[in-house]
Amino acid sequence: MAFQLPDLPYSHDALAGKGMSKETLEYHHDKHHNAYVTNGNKAIEGTEWEGKSLEEIIKGTYDPKAVAQNGIFNNISQLWNHNQFWEMMSPDDSTMPSELEKAITDSFGSVDKFKDEFKAAGAGQFGSGWAWLVKDTDGGLKVTKTENGVNPVCFGQTTLLGCDVWEHSYYIDFRNARPDYLTNFLDKLVNWENVASRM
Ligand code: MN3
């Protein structure tokens, strides 16, 4: 069966009071995410990837030397990335569960130091991409940044948190101020219970 666009886990205006407007979610989910679903399904039709899982396709088609040219990888990885992204935010106030706080403190020294590193990764990604908090193959937590649709699945890492730093994610609400968008994301939007559940 072809991949489907999942509904948002909240209404389009649910995050408006927390810095992500209804207009952003209408464009970002209904247009951008939907285009990755439509184009991803089209790209895998009749290929060896039809019927495989998103993760299998991502791992099987990732080629670090040819990311920009790879239509199957780009659309399927972005489909997966956005499926995760909506779940990582919440309209409700969220407190970081203690086991996550401990893991972050163990790896970064403090929650504030983690946030600074995450913001620097997102702000420092030149052009389109993502900032991530991952559990690495050695079990430690790590902040990474990736270009375009590349994600932790490509490297065998566990995805705990991801922030979309493509312009379509912040330009309506924050214009060119990507660092402010990242600060707002970490301080107001993240669903820390969801992040902890991924460990
Ligand atoms: Mn996006």
Pick the CATH number of 98-197 from 3.55.40.20, 3.40.47.10, 1.10.150.20, 3.60.15.10: 3.55.40.20
Residue span(s) of the chain under CATH 3.55.40.20 come to 98-197
pLDDT tens, residue by residue, 83-119: 999 999 999 999 999 999 999 999 999 999 999 999 9
* Token pair belonging to 155: 């490297």
**Percent residues over pLDDT 70 in the chain:** 99
Instruction: Tell which CATH architecture fits domain 20-87.
Output: Orthogonal Bundle (1.10)
d(CA 105, CA 84): 24
Residue span(s) of the chain under CATH 1.10.287.990 come to 20-87
pLDDT of residue 189: 98
pLDDT tens, residue by residue, 39-51: 999 999 999 999 9
User: Measured in angstroms, how far is the CA atom of residue 109 from the centroid of ligand 1?
Assistant: 30
User: Measured in angstroms, how far is the CA atom of residue 14 from the centroid of ligand 1?
Assistant: 18
Q: How confident is the model at residue 70 (pLDDT cuts 50, 70, 90)?
A: confident
Average confidence (pLDDT) over 126-135: 98
User: Measured in angstroms, how far is the CA atom of residue 58 from the centroid of ligand 1?
Assistant: 17
Give the helix, strand, coil percentages of the chain, each rounded to 5: 55, 10, 35
**Percent residues over pLDDT 90 in the chain:** 96
Please report how the helices 98-108 and 111-124 are oriented relative to each other, as an axis angle in degrees rounded to 10: 70
Q: How confident is the model at residue 67 (pLDDT cuts 50, 70, 90)?
A: confident
| CB-proximal residues (5 Å) to ion ligand 1 | 164, 166, 169
